[in-house]
Amino acid sequence: MKSKSLSHFLIRLTQSMSLRGALVRCSRAEAILNEVETRGCFAKDARNDVWLLIVRKSLGVAVITLILAACAAPSDGSLPTLAKLATPSPTTVLSKNKTVVGAWLQEPDSITPYYTSMNYALWIAQLTLVGLAEWDDKGNLVPELAEAIPSSENGGISPDGLTITWKLKKGLKWSNGQPLTSRDVKFTWESIIDSKNKPLSVEGYNKIEKIDTPDDLTVAIKFREVYPAWYLLFTQGAHNAGAILPEHVFKGKTNLEMHPDIRQPKVVSGPFMISEWKLNSSITLIPNPNFYKGKPLLERIQIRFMPTPEAALAALQSGDVDWYPDFTEADVTLLQKLEPKIHNKVLPTPEYEHYFFNLGTTKSGSDYDGPCPLQDVKVRKAILLGINRPAIAERVYGGKAAVPVTQWANSSWTNTELKLEGYDPAGASRLLDEAGYRASRDGIRSGMCGGKESKLSFNFETVTTPLRQEIARLVQSDLKKIGIEFKPKFMTYGDFFGSYTEGANIATGKFDLAGYTSGYYPDPYTDVWRCSSVINKANPLGTNHYHYCNPSLDTLFNTSQAQADPAARKKVFDTIQKYIYDNVLVVPLYTHSSVVAYTDRFAPASFSFLSGMNWNAELWDAK
């Protein structure tokens, strides 16, 4: 991939609120090829140098880090896989009594969320520093340090939507026994917006006009304008950073990014606290005696840093570690063979793979018109019904993937009234007949569109990975059966995600269909459907790859941004999803998943698709 293409894409990503990713390891070529887009990794050379792109959605801002890493292939030229296991390296033996050991590929740079963009660091933060609320295993925001989630009904959201009032639980304490009060919440905000500190982002916190703390339990946050994503502030999860900081530790101090207690907090509020950090080796945690939910079930957690996923799996098999949280789709089949000694959890996430149409028209702001037949909803629905999406989902994640109904999958924002439309080639054919497209001698349907004879023959563009190539060929076969020619074109990441000024087809609108991974979480808002985001000569940094513009949909998104009450906002997003569903603006294929493997002696609690496995670590146990 050309560095110029990458740099342009980085610029575009920082302006897009729709692309999410995670810290990614590229220790093997197969993982790069199969999981590169989902994890945010861009391969320069699949067997040698690798560009690592880390994109983390943090309070509305894409935080980007670029690292150059080496991914050397084995000397025999084959692609390394987990089947080629490394020999386990000697490790320190811990007492198994109420102790679990995890394997991670990255050592955290800093634990305090506001000063790190590393997912492995945020996972430690979930164990040690908590916020006012978190996401549970149903995707719902639930109270943590707070007594309840603010709403219009309980008076937590003012009628004008400008003031959000949180009530803290009574009797909260820091791990050192000091009271945890509303003053700590206010101090956290003050430290974030203090120009003498350098947090990674102030987005959202800079919308706050003031915070009043009339008593130790009340936090009244006054915004300058309605800020619908207020619930991402001061709340903690794997995809947002909002822990509360102890005023009595940091008051009067500046340059907090350099403070040792920011890197390794000694005073914490979560279920565990760090007892030992051996650089390049491990982090050990013990229970926080003042955790608000009581003492955790485990007596100790140790995180060991591993060089590769192969080493992590070998350590799992030998019993040296109890879990590894970062396997990929390509590993699921192998992991399933290790039952019952080693269990695996395929956890659906809000990210999804989807195909989409070029719906641009010069009248609506695009530089080019997309294919005329694709402007007909009957043709789009025929394509959706003509693809055997359940069969495709069955081929990924060991058969544990699901076909999403909407782009807001696996979330409390999902419109559950919408029903999945399955594989129906007969119904697809009827729709094409109704649209006026008849089969010709070559088997490809054709008909009149816009006053011209048009064939249902479409190019399809996506990134070159084995899984995407396999799926595209299945789709090609399915659509051929209903008289549609589907012509896949596989591209490098640099070419596919190239910029408008580089003439990339997706950006300029010179394509028919395309496909990639996306997801809108933890806040549901995205600008990728906005008319103002359509990419064109006047707006080369736009984010609307669909090239779709409809004032009605624009109005709905505007309305969603004027709602401070999540319940009222949910109704707007239900309508948005129904509009996209009814008009078949995309073809959702399957949801992506996180893959965790753990030994039989380790008993993790319920998993959350927004907060991962660490959100309720106080309930972890060991047999």
pLDDT, tens only, 217-261: 999 999 999 999 999 999 987 677 789 999 999 999 999 999 999
Residue-level pLDDT at 96: 64
Query: Using a CB cutoff of 8 Å and minimum separation of 24, what contacts does 250-258 make?
Result: 250/187, 250/191, 251/187, 254/194, 254/196, 254/197, 255/196, 255/197, 255/198, 256/115, 256/191, 256/197, 256/198, 256/199, 257/110, 257/115, 257/197, 257/198, 257/199
User: How remote is the C-alpha of 190 from its chain's centroid?
Assistant: 28
Dihedral angle sign, alpha carbons of residues 34, 39, 43, 49: negative
Cβ atoms of residues 10 and 66 within 8 Å:
yes
Residue-level pLDDT at 315: 97
User: How remote is the C-alpha of 102 from its chain's centroid?
Assistant: 22
- Any idea where the domains of the chain sit in the sequence? 1-80, 113-304+600-622, 349-593
Of 82-96, 290-304, 548-562, the range with the lowest mean pLDDT is 82-96
Q: Which residues of 94-126 are buried (b: 16+ CB within 10 A; e: fewer)?
A: eeeebbbbbbbbbbbebbbbbbbbbbbbbbbbb
Report the predicted TM-score, pTM, of the whole model to 2 decimal places: 0.84
In percent, the amount of the chain with pLDDT more than 90 equals 81
Cβ atoms of residues 456 and 444 within 8 Å:
yes
- Is the pLDDT assigned to residue 579 strictly greater than 80? yes
Cβ atoms of residues 161 and 565 within 8 Å:
yes
CATH architecture of 113-304+600-622: 3-Layer(aba) Sandwich (3.40)
Of 65-79, 128-142, 465-479, the range with the lowest mean pLDDT is 65-79
Cβ atoms of residues 318 and 335 within 8 Å:
no
- List the structure tokens of 532: 């103002």
Cβ atoms of residues 255 and 108 within 8 Å:
no
Q: What's the longest Cα–Cα distance across the chain? A: 81
Dihedral angle sign, alpha carbons of residues 311, 86, 72, 398: negative
pLDDT tens digit string along 530-557?
999 999 999 999 999 999 999 999 999 9
Whole-number Å distance between alpha carbons of 298 and 605: 12
Of 73-82, 308-317, 591-600, 613-622, the range with the lowest mean pLDDT is 73-82
- Is the pLDDT assigned to residue 66 strictly greater than 60? no
Residue-level pLDDT at 382: 98
Mean pLDDT score, 498-503 = 96
> What secondary structure letter does DSSP report for 153?
T
Rg of the chain over CA atoms, in angstroms? 25
DSSP code per residue over 229-282: TGGGTT---SSS--PPPPHHHHTT---GGG-HHHHS-SS--SSEEEEEEETTTE
> What secondary structure letter does DSSP report for 147?
S
> How, if at all, do strands 445-449 and 438-439 pair?
antiparallel
Whole-number Å distance between alpha carbons of 561 and 113: 26
Residue-level pLDDT at 610: 87
- Is the pLDDT assigned to residue 13 strictly greater than 70? no
User: Among 134, 158, 325, which residue's Cα sits nearest to residue 236?
Assistant: 134
Element spanning 80, H or E: none
Whole-number Å distance between alpha carbons of 427 and 418: 19
- Is the pLDDT assigned to residue 83 strictly greater than 60? no
Q: Which residues of 1-15 are buried (b: 16+ CB within 10 A; e: fewer)?
A: beeebbebbbebbee
User: Among 131, 154, 127, 153, which residue's Cα sits nearest to residue 142?
Assistant: 131
User: Among 272, 328, 332, 331, which residue's Cα sits nearest to residue 302?
Assistant: 272
Indicate the fold that domain 349-593 takes in CATH.
Dipeptide-binding Protein; domain 3 (3.10.105)
- Is the pLDDT assigned to residue 7 strictly greater than 90? no
Residue-level pLDDT at 97: 81
133 forms beta bridges with: 143
3-class SS of residue 423: coil
> What mean pLDDT value characterizes the chain?
87
